[in-house]
């Protein structure tokens, strides 16, 4: 016990004067969380919250124009500005505002668009009953102008234009039936106007795939970035830990270590324990950042779910996996430079594969398969379960198990490598 | 100083795995309780190897030794508690202070609380440290590092102290004062001291007995006077050169 305390005090004192170590372990993570969350918050926001800024210039002011107005104002993907043609008289007016970034897409419904549509439908009806009726030349064409910001996301534009087409089609059907009803009424001498119910036949309802009985969590920049960068930072322990293990092996200190009574392994456990606490501290700091600091910047408050025991279990397994990886790197390599380069690069690769930088669901399928080999990915999936899907211990048990197996394997391999290296004498 | 032996070395042979020749060849002698014993020899003679085997860092390929009756092969843990070791290389944490290094080493030998603190203060004081003991070791001069390194071996008052070139790289003043301290420790705490050195004059004055070795073999052993008489030379350096030749070692 005394030896453990001795090692603990020693490691602690070494760590607090190690500027590089402190920067890597505590300052870098805080900056990463800040920067990445704020950057991605904008992206998530334009997707999910206030929507795409759309300008609708409605000069028609009849059924068609109103239907399009109504359709877009119900839609959640756009933030609609409606003008009746008073402010935006010409296309040039619109373009000017769009260049300033006010709108991403603008739709201009011309005057008398509804009348034109009606004429078109009536023409069709006429031909239906009278084969000799002439095809009306240009009366039925409605020119809807669509002005687009060239830097706008194509999928946004697609969403808006397909919405537009949908509203036009539904209005056209409605007008068709109205006119047909009038004609049939006239034929059969029933003086009755057919009133089309002003309701959609198909009603769309969005649902979220959640575990049973769980409330809905909106996935947002905070819920992804906080756990992601916490995992990344905890794994970056490999740099100071690997360096420290190598330093102790090369600076003549190793000789002293081994002339102490008791085994070197007990000294090593003291060191690993310190870094374990460092990992837990890192995690707590980043969580506190998400809960208390980021909301001050207008970001959503971090939701850590409602299963503290599962959260602690997952975090402990993550920390154990990270320190065992540091131990492995520190045991395999012989110079601090080698360990820092390999350790750093391997964490970068494993984090990229693990979905830390880019969410997994936008990766190609074969990459997603590879990412299931990254311990950072196991941890991330675990936190997604707890933070986003509202899962409990059962939802994370496989991830915890994988992390734990990684921990034990890394310990065993380190032990074999250590034995092999010290056997030469 | 008694003539009772505290270390009995019997036919120790060492062949490193990646080396063609033996680093030690049937080395066989005794060290008496309470004496200051000097192990002299040119580079590569096998001095460090012999000390490393005694303190359990390296396994002997053949033979063995007992320290106060405990076999180094069968009871290495017991032996470790009897010994104090001062490595040839500086074995300190560069970013810790000299004092924090010593506190750590003391705890690893089972000292704690006021006993540890007093012992560290006492040793620092004896070896000429004041508040500079609280500075980081990386800012120390070579001599200061050597002194802290040395204190690390005696904190727990071992019965036997193994020193591998403790005064290398120190100026004459520091060297003389270190040797003086070691002599005091030897007398006051009845600590047996085994040390290796390349300083012949120092060894001649400081050691009760000396062994000169080369190529893994002991060439001669006795008090400095005995060796000078036997080899018919006026000082130890002449004896050394006569026995080991003038050829530079590789
Ligand atoms: N770990 C090792 N592996 C292989 N050979 C070694 C090892 N350590 C020492 N040797 C060899 O064993 C021999 C004795 O070396 P040792 O270090 O014991 O000499 P020494 O007397 O302490 O020399 P010096 O005065 O230079 O310190 C040398 O030939 C050396 O090259
Ligand atoms: Mg040597």
pLDDT digits (tens, 9 = 90+) for B12-46: 999 998 888 999 999 999 999 999 999 999 999 99
CB contact under 8 A, B109 and A425: no
Nearest CA in chain B to A5: B107
pLDDT digits (tens, 9 = 90+) for B135-179: 999 999 888 998 999 999 999 999 999 999 888 877 888 888 889
Contact between B149 and B87 (Cβ < 8 Å): yes
Query: A187 pLDDT band (50/70/90 cuts)?
Result: confident
Ordered DSSP codes for A105-138: EEEEEPTTHHHHHHHHHHHHHHHHH-TTPPPPSS
Name the domain count of chain A: 2
Query: Percent of chain A scored above 90 by pLDDT?
Result: 32
Query: A246 pLDDT band (50/70/90 cuts)?
Result: very high
Find the mean pLDDT for residues A227-233: 94
Q: Are A223 and A157 found together in one domain?
A: no
| Average pLDDT in chain A | 83
Mutate to test the interface with A, among B90, B104, B117 (most CBs of A within 10 A): B104
Residue A215 neighbours by CB distance under 10 Å: 8
Top pLDDT among A221 and B124 is at: B124
Structural domain includes residue A207: no
Nearest CA residue ID for atom 22, ligand 1: B48
- In chain A, which residues have their Cβ closer than 8 Å to the Cβ of B18? 424
A425 touches chain B (CB under 8 A): yes
pLDDT digits (tens, 9 = 90+) for B173-208: 888 888 988 999 999 889 999 999 998 888 988 999
Please identify among residues 119-148 of chain B the ones whose CB lies closer than 8 Å to any CB of chain A. 136
What is the residue range of B235's domain? 5-244
Nearest CA in chain B to A248: B93
> Does residue A217 have a pLDDT over 60?
no
- The reply to whether ligand 1 has any atom less than 6 angstroms from the CB of B55 is no
Beta bridge pairs of residue B40: B197, B212
Structural domain includes residue A217: yes
Structural domain includes residue B250: no
Query: A231 pLDDT band (50/70/90 cuts)?
Result: very high
Q: What angle do CA A12, A16, A18 make, to 5 degrees?
A: 115
Q: Are A60 and A39 found together in one domain?
A: no
Distance (angstroms) between ligand 1 centre and the Cα of B22 equals 10
Q: Are A224 and A370 found together in one domain?
A: yes
- In chain A, which residues have their Cβ closer than 8 Å to the Cβ of B80? 259-261
CB contact under 8 A, A10 and B104: yes
Q: For residue B71, give how far its alpha carbon lies from the nearest alpha carbon of chain A (Å).
A: 15
Q: Are A57 and A140 found together in one domain?
A: yes
Kindly report the CATH number assigned to the domain that includes residue B91. Answer: 3.40.50.300
- In chain A, which residues have their Cβ closer than 8 Å to the Cβ of B104? 6-7, 9-10
Q: How far apart are CA A396 and CA A404, in angstroms?
A: 12
Whole-model pTM: value is 0.75
Nearest-atom number in ligand 1 for the CA of A425 is: 1
Three-state DSSP class for A148? strand
Count interface pairs A-B at CB distance under 8 A: 79
Q: Are A290 and A360 found together in one domain?
A: yes
Low-confidence winner among A90-99, A157-166, A199-208, B63-72 (lowest mean pLDDT): A199-208
What is the residue range of A239's domain? 2-43+213-424
- The reply to whether ligand 1 has any atom less than 6 angstroms from the CB of B56 is no
Structural domain includes residue A176: yes
Element housing A78 (H / E): strand A78-83
Query: A138 pLDDT band (50/70/90 cuts)?
Result: low
Q: Are A94 and A134 found together in one domain?
A: yes
Q: For residue B245, give how far its alpha carbon lies from the nearest alpha carbon of chain A (Å).
A: 29
Q: For residue B55, give how far its alpha carbon lies from the nearest alpha carbon of chain A (Å).
A: 6
Nearest CA in chain A to B112: A2
Query: A298 pLDDT band (50/70/90 cuts)?
Result: confident
Structural domain includes residue A198: no
- The reply to whether ligand 1 has any atom less than 6 angstroms from the CB of B19 is yes
How much is the pLDDT for B193?
A: 96
Which residues touch A412 (CB under 8 Å, ≥6 apart)? none
Top pLDDT among A44 and B160 is at: B160
Distance (angstroms) between ligand 1 centre and the Cα of B49 equals 6
Length of chain A: 425
- In chain A, which residues have their Cβ closer than 8 Å to the Cβ of B136? 17
CB contact under 8 A, B85 and A17: no
Find the mean pLDDT for residues A204-222: 60
- The reply to whether ligand 1 has any atom less than 6 angstroms from the CB of B23 is yes
How much is the pLDDT for B94?
A: 92
Structural domain includes residue A205: no
> Does residue A414 have a pLDDT over 60?
yes
Ordered DSSP codes for A316-344: HHHHHHHHHHHHHHHHH-SSHHHHHHHHH
How much is the pLDDT for B134?
A: 95
Query: Percent of chain B scored above 90 by pLDDT?
Result: 64
How much is the pLDDT for A333?
A: 94
Q: Are A238 and A366 found together in one domain?
A: yes
Find the mean pLDDT for residues A220-243: 91
Q: Are A278 and A416 found together in one domain?
A: yes
- In chain A, which residues have their Cβ closer than 8 Å to the Cβ of B92? 251, 253
> Does residue A144 have a pLDDT over 70?
yes
Which residues touch B161 (CB under 8 Å, ≥6 apart)? B83, B84, B85, B86, B153, B154, B185, B191, B192, B193, B194, B195
How much is the pLDDT for B208?
A: 93
CB contact under 8 A, A252 and B90: yes
Q: Are A88 and A21 found together in one domain?
A: no
Contact between B106 and B120 (Cβ < 8 Å): yes
Top pLDDT among A312 and B142 is at: A312
Top pLDDT among A282 and A48 is at: A282
Q: For residue B220, give how far its alpha carbon lies from the nearest alpha carbon of chain A (Å).
A: 28
Top pLDDT among A63 and B213 is at: B213
Structural domain includes residue B136: yes
User: What is the CB-side half-sphere exposure of residue A212 using CA atoms within 13 A?
Assistant: 1
Nearest CA in chain A to B156: A260
Structural domain includes residue A273: yes
CB contact under 8 A, A256 and B57: no
Contact between A328 and A321 (Cβ < 8 Å): no
Q: Which ipTM score applies to this complex?
A: 0.85
Q: Are A229 and A82 found together in one domain?
A: no
- The reply to whether ligand 1 has any atom less than 6 angstroms from the CB of B47 is yes
User: Smallest Cβ distance to B85: which of A5, A259, A424?
Assistant: A259
Q: Are A285 and A420 found together in one domain?
A: yes
> Does residue A206 have a pLDDT over 60?
no
């Amino acid at each position: 016990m005394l030896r453990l305390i001795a090692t603990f005090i020693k490691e602690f004192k070494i760590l607090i004067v190690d500027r590089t170590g402190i920067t890597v372990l505590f300052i870098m993570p805080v900056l990463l969380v800040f920067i990445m969350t704020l950057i991605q918050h904008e992206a998530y926001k334009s997707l999910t919250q206030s929507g795409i800024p759309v300008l609708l210039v409605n000069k028609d002011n009849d059924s068609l124009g109103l239907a399009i107005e109504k359709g877009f104002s119900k839609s959640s993907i756009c933030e609609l500005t409606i003008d009746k043609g008073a402010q935006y008289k010409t296309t040039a007016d619109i373009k000017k505002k769009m260049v300033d970034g006010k709108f991403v897409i603008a739709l201009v419904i011309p005057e008398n668009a509804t009348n034109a549509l009606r004429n078109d439908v009536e023409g069709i009806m006429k031909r239906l009953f009278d084969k000799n009726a002439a095809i009306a030349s240009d009366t039925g064409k409605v020119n809807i102008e669509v002005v687009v910001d060239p830097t706008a996301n194509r999928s946004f534009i697609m969403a808006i234009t397909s919405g537009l087409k949908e509203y036009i089609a539904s209005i056209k059907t409605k007008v068709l039936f109205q006119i047909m009803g009038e004609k049939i009424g006239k034929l059969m001498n029933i003086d009755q106007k057919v009133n089309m119910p002003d309701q959609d036949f198909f009603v769309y309802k969005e649902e979220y795939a959640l575990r049973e009985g769980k409330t809905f969590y909106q996935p947002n920049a905070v819920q992804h970035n906080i756990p992601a960068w916490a995992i990344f930072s905890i794994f970056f322990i490999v740099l100071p830990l690997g360096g420290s293990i190598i330093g102790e092996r090369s600076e003549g200190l190793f000789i002293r270590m081994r002339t102490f009574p008791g085994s070197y392994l007990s000294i090593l456990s003291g060191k690993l324990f310190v870094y374990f606490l460092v990992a837990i501290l890192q995690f707590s700091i980043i969580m506190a950042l998400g809960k208390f600091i980021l909301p001050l910047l207008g970001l959503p408050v971090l939701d850590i779910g409602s299963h503290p025991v599962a959260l602690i279990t997952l975090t402990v397994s993550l920390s154990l996996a990270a320190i065992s990886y540091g131990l492995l790197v520190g045991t395999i390599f012989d110079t601090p430079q080698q360990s820092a380069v390999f350790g750093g690069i391997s964490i970068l690769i494993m984090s990229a594969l693990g979905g830390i930088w880019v969410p997994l669901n936008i990766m190609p399928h074969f990459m997603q398969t590879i990412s299931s080999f990254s311990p950072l990915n196991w941890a991330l999936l675990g936190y997604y379960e707890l933070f986003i899907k509202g899962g409990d211990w059962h939802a994370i048990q496989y991830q915890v198990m994988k992390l734990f197996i990684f921990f034990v394997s890394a310990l065993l391999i380190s032990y074999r490598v250590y034995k092999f290296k010290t056997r030469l004498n | 100083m008694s003539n009772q032996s505290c270390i009995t070395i019997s036919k120790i042979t060492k062949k490193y795995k990646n080396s063609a020749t033996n680093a030690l060849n049937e080395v066989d002698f005794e060290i008496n309780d309470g004496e200051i014993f000097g192990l002299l020899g040119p580079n590569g003679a096998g001095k460090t190897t012999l000390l490393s085997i005694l303190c359990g860092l390296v396994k002997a390929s053949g033979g063995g030794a007992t320290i106060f009756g405990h076999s180094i092969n069968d009871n290495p843990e017991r032996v470790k508690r009897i010994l104090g070791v001062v490595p040839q290389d500086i074995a300190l944490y560069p970013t810790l202070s000299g004092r924090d290094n010593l506190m750590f080493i003391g705890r690893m030998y089972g000292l704690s609380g006021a006993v540890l603190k007093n012992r560290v203060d006492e040793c620092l004081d004896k070896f000429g440290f004041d508040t500079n003991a609280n500075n980081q070791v990386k800012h120390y001069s070579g001599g200061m590092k050597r002194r802290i390194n040395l204190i690390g071996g005696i904190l727990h008052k071992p019965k036997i102290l193994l020193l591998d070139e403790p005064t290398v790289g120190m100026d004459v003043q520091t060297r003389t004062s270190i040797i003086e301290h070691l002599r005091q420790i030897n007398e006051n705490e009845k600590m047996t001291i085994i040390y290796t050195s390349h300083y012949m004059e120092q060894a001649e004055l400081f050691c009760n007995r000396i062994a000169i070795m080369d190529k893994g073999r002991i060439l001669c052993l006795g008090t400095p006077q005995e060796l000078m008489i036997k080899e018919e030379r006026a000082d130890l350096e002449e004896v050394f050169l006569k026995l080991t030749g003038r050829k530079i070692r590789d």
